[in-house]
């Protein structure tokens, strides 16, 4: 994979070697990292260990400050042995420290000493056996929607020196460390005020019928509020209009108004962000149907004997039975956790025939597995009409829950379906996989709705646990799952106004970092040689966050996954190889392994050596740094700046630079798409968005190669047909004589037999549809002889092809002129070329996830602007769901620059 060198002049040097990582995982090299400004492989006094520096200089190589008498204090040069180069800072400072005037000696202050030197182990340096929940909020989710009662109390403002607090400025609330949903309250929006993002967007398209002004928008919303029907009332009935034409016109106008509402134009840059909405109506959540007992003939076996389980126990046994042939069911930890919970359920609901179940190995779930497999096969074998009816019934059931009314506007709801019970699978190496996820009831659910709105009725018997009216949060429902005890929420869909406003604010904050990043890098580079251990550790941590997009890392509880980030790296996670190589190996987010071989600056290498000195396995590497303290330091440079903002900034900058580097304006659309995916892949590597190669990857690649051979087969037929008509071309055009690769007689025979079989199946299905249509319309059904004649014609054609296999004299099924064949050959050559790009793209991306970066980290305006500029259809690089999620980005100007 290509080395990535990014310009420092733009203040955006992110990777140095973005692809050196994943090192052995991807087989790439770890060399080529460009040093930070002010540091390098040549040791200056600035880079030398403190123990080896002359006393007459400061840490930056300048003369010491005056002592108050206009003269600098005299110092004698002190020589030290090479062994002192490896000594902790505290052991080298006595000969260089200059006490400040009025300073009081603090013998117990160890800020400049690693904690390992003070108590033998880091404050957080203990071995952890902690784990992370599968469904815990992902990176693009946040805690901005947590009820106020659960939020931390605001800090008191500093005094202005006169005994009074300064007046509170009206500023936009910034997102927290893991937050991206601090939305501006809709009630406080000022249509005239626009965000910084608006400068990069074209003016809104106005409706032809009337100009769209703040006044008319407000009036329309008010009218809509008065005329709107509560979604609860609309559950089973719809208001009947006396005038059908007027009703249709009203619906059309409403749809046009919804489509024309562009929340990003009404986004205000002011407000404290406390209130998110004024009115909210919705139908609650959709609970899964109750459990249906298995047929009496389907029983779990224990020591070969059928076990008569009550429904409560049978349901849990069925969860395991349905997964019998999966890797989960073979996993020791999964089996252990399942059986522990299964025994607990059996104690409350024991087998009716008195069988005692004491060992999972003696349980036989095969009958259950076979039953569920048969049910799946039946569902798959349903006719198109039957599947359509099932979907219609499902849509009818879900329709009331799809939307809510937010401030009078119809907004789509996200995850309104309550998660059904089952077995927890977890991500990565999770110790709770296999545990039972209990069935949820209305009594487990807290509903958040507008005050005065009609309270929704659950679709199953029961009453809500609580109904609240909190307009400072954006969730509609909240419950606590039993496996890890975490709160889970129902939010609006990704394309909603609240989510969209949050996304805009997130990417604008990352863009703002451009103004401050140069100063921040200069300061933390200087602190890499600080005499204070806490400052030196913090600077080194920021270096890793800035250069390699490491997550900050947070403390984990005993029941969470043992995943770490920069601040929580431990002694065993970093291996050193002289002179300047660091190997990082740890479990990152979602228990995904992070492995990276880094060639770093000499000063960074020295710092890590000092941080590890005196420590052992289980001790924290950065024992003087916490995530909270680190983010507080970052926010001193820019309000709201956190380690996560760095990841968004790094990803966006890297994507834009790589697109400029890799895109050839004169290339085909297929080549440009390949360039885009390669640029996105660099971002995914930077952010460690790795994935394991899927089990079906080899089969999928073989299938693609077979499709490529099928295209070559078509080309061969066209080429032979052209030469049959125009034999003189054999001497004039060599490309028409050269044989296609990968095509042998055996493969051609197999391919033609498969084509024959598929065409016959297609003809039979078409005949069945014709019969169904005739029966539905009361017409005479076609006779079986019609089908037989069609199949006979297919067999006749493929028998003819069979005879042509050994001959180069080919006749096409439909006669074509030489000119038409030439045109078909040109189109087919282009298809083959583009399909080869797809195969290359798939192979290169087999170990990298390209979705996460586009969903959470890359500013979508970069992608949309690139697509417009180079004539690439936006749907080729952004999925339909992402286009819905980022409608504000699609309207960006082609010249947009992050």
The confidence score (pLDDT) of residue 267 equals 52
pLDDT, position 262: 67
Residue 49 phi, psi (nearest 5): -55, 150
857 in active site: yes
pLDDT value of residue 834: 87
pLDDT 10s digits, 575-621? 999 999 999 988 877 677 788 888 999 999 999 999 999 999 999 99
Could you tell me how many residues make up the chain? 898
What tokens appear for 299 in the block?
A: 């029983």
99 pLDDT higher than 90: no
Comparing 193-197, 589-593, 711-715, 835-839, the range with the smallest average pLDDT is 193-197
Q: What is the CATH classification number for the domain harbouring 355?
A: 1.10.10.41
Whole-angstrom Cα distance, residue 545 to residue 45? 26
CB 460 within 8 A of CB 290: yes
pLDDT tens digits, residue range 838-860? 888 888 878 788 888 999 999 99
Average pLDDT, the chain: 75
More confident of the two residues 25 and 579: 579
pLDDT of 372 above 90: yes
- Distance of alpha carbon 52 from the chain centroid: 47
Q: If you average pLDDT over residues 486-507, what whole number do you get?
A: 89
The predicted pLDDT at position 384 comes to 86
Residues in contact with 276: Cβ distance below 8 Å, sequence separation at least 6, in sequence order = 183, 185, 186, 471, 472, 473, 474, 498
Residue-wise pLDDT for 687-707, tens only, equals: 877 777 777 888 888 889 989
Residue 316 lies in a domain: yes
What share of the chain has pLDDT > 90, as a percent? 43
Residue 566 inside a domain? The answer is no
Domain total in the chain: 2
Dump pLDDT digits (tens) for 105-145.
444 444 455 544 554 444 444 444 443 333 333 344 444 34
Residue 246 confidence class, pLDDT cut points 50, 70, 90: low
Question: Tokens 């910084």 identify what position?
Answer: 196
- Of 508, 551, 509, 507, nearest in space to 638 by CA: 509
- Provide the pLDDT confidence category of residue 263 given band limits of 50, 70 and 90: low
Is 880 domain-assigned? no
Summarize the chain as % helix, strand, coil (round to 5).
Answer: 45, 5, 50
In this prediction the pTM is: 0.60
- Bridge partners for 301 per DSSP: 306, 364
Higher per-residue pLDDT: 307 or 716: 307
Say if residue 288's pLDDT is above 50: yes
User: Does residue 605 lie within any of the structural domains?
Assistant: no
- Torsion angle (degrees, nearest 10) of CA 105, 532, 586, 677: 150
Give per-residue pLDDT as tens, 753-800.
Answer: 999 999 999 999 999 888 888 888 888 888 889 999 999 999 988 888
pLDDT digits (tens, 9 = 90+) for 782-791: 888 999 999 9
Q: Report which of residues 854 and 50 the model is more confident about.
A: 854
606 near 49, Cβ under 8 Å? yes
The packing angle between helices 497-512 and 643-662, to 10°, is 80
Last residue of a domain, one of 336, 366, 382: 382
- Choose, from 524, 543, 837, 857, the residue flagged as catalytic: 857
In a domain, 606, yes or no: no
The Cα-based distances of 812 to 485, 760, 809 in angstroms read 67, 19, 10
Handedness of CA 746, 747, 751, 754 (dihedral sign): positive
**Is 361 part of any domain?**
yes
Could you list the residue range(s) of the whole structural domain that residue 808 is in? Answer: 708-769+784-834
- Give the domain-ending residue among 382, 404, 421: 382
What was the pLDDT predicted at 183? Answer: 39
Q: Give pLDDT, residue 122.
A: 43
Last residue of a domain, one of 382, 397, 425: 382
- Residue 803 covered by a domain: yes
**Residue 751 within any structural domain of the chain:** yes
């Amino acid at each position: 994979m290509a080395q990535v060198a990014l310009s420092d002049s733009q203040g955006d040097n992110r990777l140095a070697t973005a692809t050196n990582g994943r090192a052995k995982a991807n087989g790439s090299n770890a060399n080529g990292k460009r040093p930070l400004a002010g540091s390098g492989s040549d040791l200056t006094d600035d880079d030398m260990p403190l123990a080896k520096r002359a006393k007459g200089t400061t840490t930056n190589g300048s003369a010491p400050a005056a002592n108050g008498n206009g003269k600098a204090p005299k110092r004698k040069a002190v020589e030290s042995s090479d062994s002192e180069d490896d000594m902790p800072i505290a052991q080298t400072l006595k000969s260089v420290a200059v006490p400040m005037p009025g300073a009081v000696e603090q013998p117990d202050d160890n800020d400049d000493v690693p904690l390992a030197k003070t108590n033998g182990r880091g404050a957080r340096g203990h071995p952890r056996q902690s784990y992370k929940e599968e469904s815990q909020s992902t990176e693009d989710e946040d805690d901005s929607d947590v009820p106020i009662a659960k939020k931390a109390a605001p800090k008191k403002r500093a005094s202005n020196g006169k005994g009074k607090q300064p007046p509170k400025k009206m500023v936009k609330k910034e997102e927290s460390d893991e937050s991206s949903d601090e939305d501006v309250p809709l009630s406080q929006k000022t249509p005239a005020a626009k965000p910084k993002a608006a400068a990069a967007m074209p003016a809104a398209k106005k409706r032809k019928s009337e100009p769209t002004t703040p006044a008319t928008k407000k009036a329309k919303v008010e009218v809509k509020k008065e005329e709107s029907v509560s979604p609860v009332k609309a559950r089973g009935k719809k208001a009947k209009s006396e005038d059908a034409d007027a009703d249709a016109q009203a619906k059309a106008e409403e749809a046009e108004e919804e489509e024309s509402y562009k929340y990003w134009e009404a986004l205000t840059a002011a407000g404290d962000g406390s209130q998110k909405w004024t009115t909210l109506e919705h139908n609650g959540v959709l609970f899964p149907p109750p459990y249906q007992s298995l047929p009496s003939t389907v029983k779990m076996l224990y020591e070969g004997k059928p076990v008569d389980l009550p429904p409560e126990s049978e349901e849990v046994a069925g969860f395991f039975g349905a997964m019998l042939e999966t890797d989960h069911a073979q996993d020791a930890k999964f089996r252990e956790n399942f059986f522990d919970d299964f025994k607990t359920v059996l104690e409350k609901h024991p087998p009716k025939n008195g069988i005692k179940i004491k060992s999972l190995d003696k349980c036989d779930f095969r009958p259950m597995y076979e039953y569920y497999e048969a049910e799946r096969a039946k569902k798959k074998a349903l006719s198109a009409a039957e599947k359509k009816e099932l979907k219609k019934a499902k849509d009818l059931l879900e329709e009331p829950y799809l939307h809510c009314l937010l401030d009078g506007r119809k907004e789509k709801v996200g995850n309104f379906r309550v998660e059904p019970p089952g077995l927890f699978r977890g991500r990565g190496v999770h110790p709770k996989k296999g545990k039972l996820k209990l069935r949820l009831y209305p009594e487990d659910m807290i509903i958040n709705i507008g005050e005065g709105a009609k309270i929704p009725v659950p679709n199953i018997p029961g009453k809500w646990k609580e109904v609240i009216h909190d307009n400072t949060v954006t969730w509609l429902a909240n419950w606590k799952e039993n496996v890890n005890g975490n709160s889970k929420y129902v939010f609006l869909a990704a394309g909603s106004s609240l989510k969209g406003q949050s996304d805009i604010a997130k990417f604008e904050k990352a863009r703002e970092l451009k103004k401050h990043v140069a100063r921040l890098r200069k300061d933390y580079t200087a602190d890499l040689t600080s005499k204070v251990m806490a400052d030196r550790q913090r600077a080194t941590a920021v270096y890793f966050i800035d250069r390699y997009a490491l997550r900050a890392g947070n403390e984990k509880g005993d029941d969470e996954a043992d995943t770490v980030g920069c601040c929580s790296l431990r002694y065993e996670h970093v291996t050193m190889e002289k002179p300047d190589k660091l190997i990082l190996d740890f479990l990152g987010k979602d228990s995904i392994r992070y492995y990276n071989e880094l060639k770093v600056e000499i000063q960074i290498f020295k710092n890590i050596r000092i941080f590890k000195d005196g420590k052992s396995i289980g001790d924290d590497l950065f024992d003087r740094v916490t995530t909270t303290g680190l983010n507080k330091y970052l926010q001193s440079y820019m309000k709201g700046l956190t380690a996560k903002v760095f990841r968004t900034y790094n990803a966006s900058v890297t994507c834009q630079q790589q697109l400029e580097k890799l895109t050839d304006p004169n290339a085909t659309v297929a080549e440009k798409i390949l360039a885009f995916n390669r640029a996105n892949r660099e971002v995914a590597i930077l952010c460690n968005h790795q994935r394991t190669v899927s089990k079906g990857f080899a089969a999928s690649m073989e299938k693609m190669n077979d499709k490529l051979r099928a295209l070559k087969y078509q080309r061969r037929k066209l080429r032979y047909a052209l030469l049959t008509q125009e034999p003189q071309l054999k001497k004039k055009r060599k490309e028409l004589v050269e044989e296609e690769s990968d095509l042998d007689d055996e493969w051609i025979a197999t391919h033609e037999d498969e084509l024959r079989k598929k065409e016959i199946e297609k003809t039979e299905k078409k005949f069945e549809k014709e019969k169904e249509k005739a029966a539905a319309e009361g017409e005479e059904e076609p006779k079986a002889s019609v089908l037989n004649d069609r199949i006979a014609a297919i067999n006749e054609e493929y028998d003819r092809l069979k005879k042509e296999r050994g001959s180069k004299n080919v006749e096409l099924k439909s006669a074509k002129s030489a000119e038409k064949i030439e045109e078909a050959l040109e189109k087919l050559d282009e298809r083959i070329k583009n399909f080869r790009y797809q195969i290359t793209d798939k192979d290169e991306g087999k170990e990298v996830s390209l979705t996460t970066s586009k969903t959470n980290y890359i500013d979508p305006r970069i992608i949309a602007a690139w697509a417009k500029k180079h004539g690439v259809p936006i749907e080729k690089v952004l999925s339909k769901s992402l286009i819905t999620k980022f409608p504000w980005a699609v309207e960006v100007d082609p010249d947009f620059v992050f």
